[in-house]
């Protein structure tokens, strides 16, 4: 369900045995970051899942070893499809990598089970978007430093807008403007729809409209579902209305052909997508000279989901001091500068200009401006359990089998049961 940074990952994986092989007296102690490290040579394993970022990670590792000659970093790539299964198995067996990538939906599961180590040192978190710092805080403790970030925008096909004589979306457009444009852009004769009301990426679709409508997915204490809130339902209705008006292809069609493919075939005028889609749309032959991006339309308020990957430390690492040094480096400005030249938007404030200027033809600033009103990706201790319930229940509303109010009520009940078990 959570899509960002998972694309393009497909390469070999290195076994997670770096740490286990290293005989070590586990020096260092807990006073991390004092700069007084033991001169003993150590190797830290660093697990990541995105093949497209592997070279950037190796560059960061090399840069870290240059300033910390006694610490070598072994970057271990495991493709997304196997990453969590493998990490769970390794953590159960006490052989987790020293430092690894963490995402929002999985974070609380790892933190609440004591698999990852809280950050002891006082760090200045004001350099990262607050939503991301909140995302990686559990029980009042920060566990990871944000590495990158992504927000959501409306990618649109200028050619189809021109053909329908519809004005391009402005920076302050609203739900009403969006709905008006959607009606004008839909052209059944040509098989063109305004948008695909996608059900497999809540990060890019439902969560955004839920918060725009003033609703919520999960209560701040993580105990209660927000799906029975009338405003949340309003945010879901945004999509079911588009389906009912046939301004979106039906769910069957989107099951057979994903909205991304439809957009890239010129069948959808708009596509709500993450900042990570830049790579996709600038590479694709059809979209590369036809698309631009606008902010998400404003409902009762402005909102976009923000998510980002963080670097965390294993609770069982044999080198806690060195691991923290490395995590601190990865969360620093020099590291963000290296990352920003290569791939995703770095999370460190003020280092994002390289990312924006890489494609001057697109209004990428939209994604950075959105940080001001961004909402953290909703999570709890066992996020995956109720994410499954979201699909099970909302699929019935998407097909029209069950009215959205009823599907949302069922979902809220099911989700509350699951949250009670956490």
Partner 1 sequence: MTTTAGSRAVRAARVEKARRPRAEALWGYAFIAPTGLGLAIFYLWPVLQTAYFSFTEWGAFGGHTWTGLDNYTRLLGDPEVGRAVLNTLTYTALGLVGIPLAIVFAALLNRPGLRGVSVYRTAFFLPVVTMPVAVAMLWRWLYNGDYGLVNQVLATVGIDGPNWIADPATAMYALVVVGIWSSIGYNLIIFLAGMQAIPKELYEAASLDGAGRVRQFFSITLPMLSPTAFFVSIVSVIGSLQLFDLVFVMTGSGQSARANPAYGRLQTVVQLFYERAFVTNDRGYAAAIVIALLVLIAGLTILQFRLQRRWVHYV
Residues that bind partner 1 (CB under 8 A): 1, 85, 88, 91-92, 109, 113, 115, 199-200, 251-253, 255-257, 382, 384-385, 387-388, 391-392, 395, 398-399
CB of 214: closest distance to partner 1 in angstroms?
26
The secondary structure of 29-41 as a DSSP string is -S-TTSS------
- As a whole number of angstroms, the distance between CA 352 and CA 358 comes to 10
Q: Which residues pair with 150 in a beta bridge?
A: 307
Between 172 and 401, CB nearer to partner 1: 401
Q: In this complex, which beta carbon is closest to partner 1, that of residue 207 or of residue 373?
A: 207
Residue with Cβ nearer partner 1 (67 or 85) = 85
Nearer to partner 1, 42 or 199 (CB): 199
> What is the spatial distance between Cα 386 and Cα 89, in angstroms, rounded to a whole number?
22
Strands 152-157 and 291-294: antiparallel
Count CB neighbours of 369 within 10 A. 17
User: CB of residue 1 vs partner 1: minimum separation in angstroms?
Assistant: 6
| CB-nearer residue toward partner 1: 219 or 382 | 382
Closest separation in Å from C-beta 254 to partner 1: 8
Distances (CA, A) of 47 to 8, 29, 50, 103, 147: 17, 23, 10, 13, 14
Min separation Cβ 355 and partner 1, Å: 28
Q: Which is nearer to partner 1, 104 or 146 (CB)?
A: 104
Cβ distance 215 to 209 under 8 Å? no
Q: How far is the CB of 128 from partner 1 (least distance, A)?
A: 27
Give the shortest CB-383-to-partner 1 separation in angstroms.
10
Residue 24: how many CB atoms within 10 A of its CB? 14
396 to 200, 266, 385, 393, 411: CA distances (angstroms): 14, 28, 18, 6, 11
Cα gap 260→272, rounded to integer Å:
9
Q: Which is nearer to partner 1, 257 or 357 (CB)?
A: 257
Alpha carbon of 244 to those of 95, 202, 400, 404: distances in Å? Answer: 51, 19, 8, 11
CB 387, min distance to partner 1, A: 7
Angle at 312 between CA 101 and CA 352, to 5 degrees: 65
């Amino acid at each position: 369900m959570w899509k960002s940074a998972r694309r393009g990952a497909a390469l070999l994986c290195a076994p997670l045995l770096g740490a286990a092989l290293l005989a070590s007296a586990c020096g260092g102690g807990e006073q991390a970051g004092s700069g007084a490290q033991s001169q003993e040579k150590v190797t830290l394993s660093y697990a990541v899942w995105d093949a497209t970022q592997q070279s950037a990670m190796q560059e960061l590792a090399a840069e870290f070893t240059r300033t910390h000659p006694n610490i070598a970093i072994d970057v271990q790539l495991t493709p997304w499809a196997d990453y969590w299964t493998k990490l769970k198995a390794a953590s159960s067996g006490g052989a987790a990598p020293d430092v690894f990538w963490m995402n929002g939906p999985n974070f609380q599961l790892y933190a609440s089970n004591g698999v990852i180590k809280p950050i002891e040192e006082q760090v200045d978190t004001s350099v990262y978007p607050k939503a991301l710092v909140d995302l990686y805080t559990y029980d009042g403790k920060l566990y990871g430093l944000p590495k990158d970030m992504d927000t959501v925008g409306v990618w649109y096909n200028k050619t189809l807008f021109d053909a329908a004589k519809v004005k391009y979306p402005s920076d302050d457009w609203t739900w009403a403007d969006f709905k008006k444009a959607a009606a004008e852009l839909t052209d059944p004769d040509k098989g063109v729809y305004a948008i695909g009301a996608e059900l497999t990426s809540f990060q890019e679709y439902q969560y955004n409209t839920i918060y725009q409508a003033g609703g919520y997915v999960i209560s701040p204490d993580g105990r209660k579902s927000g799906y029975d809130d009338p405003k949340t339902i309003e945010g879901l209705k945004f999509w079911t209305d588009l389906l009912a008006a046939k301004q979106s292809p039906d769910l069957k069609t989107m099951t057979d052909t994903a909205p991304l493919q439809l957009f890239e075939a010129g069948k959808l005028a708009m596509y709500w997508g993450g900042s990570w889609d830049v790579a996709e749309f600038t590479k694709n032959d059809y979209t590369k000279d036809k698309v631009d991006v606008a902010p998400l339309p404003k409902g009762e308020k402005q909102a976009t989901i923000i998510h980002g990957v963080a670097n965390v430390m294993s609770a069982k690492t044999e080198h806690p001091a060195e691991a923290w040094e490395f995590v601190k480096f990865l969360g620093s400005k020099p590291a963000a500068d290296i990352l920003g030249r290569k791939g995703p938007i770095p999370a460190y404030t003020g280092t994002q200009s390289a990312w924006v200027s890489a494609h001057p033809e697109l209004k990428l600033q939209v994604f950075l401006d959105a940080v001001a009103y961004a909402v953290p990706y909703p999570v709890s201790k066992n996020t995956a359990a109720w994410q499954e319930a979201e699909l099970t229940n909302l699929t019935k509303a998407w097909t029209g089998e069950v009215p959205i109010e009823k599907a949302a009520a069922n979902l809220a009940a099911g989700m509350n049961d699951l949250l009670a078990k956490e």
